Amino acid sequence: MIKQITNIDEIKYLTNTFHSKKKSVGFVPTMGALHAGHESLFKKSVSENDITVASIFVNRTQFNDADDYKNYPRTIENDLQVLEKTGVDVLFLPKHEEIYNDDYRYRIVENSLSKILCGSSRLGHFEGVLTIVLKLLNIVSPTKAYFGEKDYQQYLLIDGMCKALFMNVEIVSCAIIREKDGLAMSSRNLLLTHDERKIAPNFYKILRNAESTSLAKTQLERLGFQVDYIEDLYRRRFGAVFLGKVRLIDNVQI
């Protein structure tokens, strides 16, 4: 059975013990509802480190919409099976009250990249993300921490934060894992209706194939997507769309 820890002092003590024995610690932070995208991060960490810690924490401060937080899928029984299967050693399940012992008075603000793309439509989102990631990295003190390119803007911001603050951790990026039909795996896919799920793969197809961002937008809207943004930046095309109430994001190299 995987070791489960909720207490901050306990996980700090555990990872310090590994460091004192010169063992490397890999860390994969998640919000649960685990799928093959998360699995690929766990597997990479397990293959590159002596010990792997995963966390599951649905971080309230990064949700700009209370309903989105409430409806976020929570599938802990299945998550435990995924963690066991992939060889994760420790699951950290922190409590909101302990993590935010300061009532979120202290937070990380980035003033450039966090204000565009997802940052312009989800106000405060990346403050919540960067603050929780900093807290988790300080608690777990991993040798390496793993993040998916599915959330490429998030990965860039976290990598930038760790460099700006001289943190003693290597940030590793991992390729996007997709369903057979091309849809990027995401916990939120569970919230799509049967009909929305059938349309959803067109998001990736259009993002990849459209000749321009404006053509992509038109094609997506014609199929019933509500487009938040489609933008070409850093040799990538980034997109965020709604299908009904479900927000999907994706990005492709161009």
Give residues in contact with ligand AMP (CB under 6 A): 30-31, 37-38, 40-41, 147-148, 150-151, 174, 176-177, 184-187
Residue 38 or 43: which CB sits closer to ligand AMP? Answer: 38
Distance CA 61, CA 136 (A): 14
Which is the catalytic residue, given 35, 38, 125, 194?
38
Distance of alpha carbon 181 from alpha carbon 253, whole angstroms? 18
Residue 172 C-alpha from the chain's centroid: 13
Nearest one of 215, 213, 186 to 201, comparing CA atoms: 186
Looking at the DSSP bridge assignments, the partners of residue 148 are 174
- Least separation in angstroms between residue 185's CB and ligand AMP is 4
* Closer residue to ligand AMP, CB minimum distance, 182 or 218: 182
Q: Is residue 38 annotated as a catalytic residue, yes or no?
A: yes
Q: Mapping DSSP to helix (H, G, I), strand (E, B) and coil, where does residue 75 land?
A: coil
Residue 135 CB, shortest distance to ligand AMP, in Å, is: 15
Could you tell me if 204 and 178 are in contact, meaning their C-beta atoms sit under 8 angstroms apart?
Answer: yes
Q: Nearer to ligand AMP by C-beta: 31 or 161?
A: 31
Which is nearer to ligand AMP, 23 or 74 (by Cβ)? 74
**Closest distance to ligand AMP from the beta carbon of 176 (Å):** 4
Burial of 124 (0-12, 13-18, 19+ CB in 10 A): middle
How far is residue 216's CA from residue 139's CA, in Å, rounded to a whole number? 42
Min CB(171)–ligand AMP separation in Å: 10
**Beta strands 226-233 and 3-5: pairing type?**
unpaired
**Position closest to ligand AMP via CB:** 148
**Rounded distance between C-alpha atoms, residue 15 and residue 92, angstroms:** 11
Identity of the residue, 176 or 230, whose beta carbon is nearer to ligand AMP in the bound complex: 176
State the nearest-atom distance from the C-beta of 158 to ligand AMP, in Å.
9
The residues that are catalytic are 38
